[in-house]
């Protein structure tokens, strides 16, 4: 790799505001705030709105929409359009 053209890659804490969860990983993201982690070290923190801790797909609270029923209801109401 060419030196000097890549962003710094280091440990960062991502904090999910919706679920009050945080996880330590490596990233090129730059946080303006810092937080003291469980290991006693201080790391930059990046606040995110949603993560796997609060996303409905990962938490099991996702709803399945009945798209087939919606199409059938639309066709009943307005008839099937198109040339015959």
**pLDDT per position as a tens digit, 10-55:** 999 999 888 888 999 999 998 889 999 999 999 999 988 877 777 6
- Nearest in space to 45 (alpha carbons), one of 26, 32, 55: 32
pLDDT at 17: 84
Q: What is the pTM of this model?
A: 0.62
Task: Report the 10 Å Cβ neighbour count for 48.
Answer: 14
């Amino acid at each position: 790799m060419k030196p000097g053209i890549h962003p710094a890659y280091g440990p960062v804490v991502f904090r999910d505001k919706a679920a009050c969860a945080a996880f330590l990983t490596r990233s090129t993201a730059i946080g303006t705030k810092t937080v003291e982690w469980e290991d006693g070290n201080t790391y930059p923190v990046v606040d995110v709105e949603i993560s796997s801790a609060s996303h409905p797909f990962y938490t099991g609270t996702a709803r399945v929409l009945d798209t087939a029923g919606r199409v059938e209801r639309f066709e009943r109401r307005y008839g099937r359009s198109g040339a015959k």
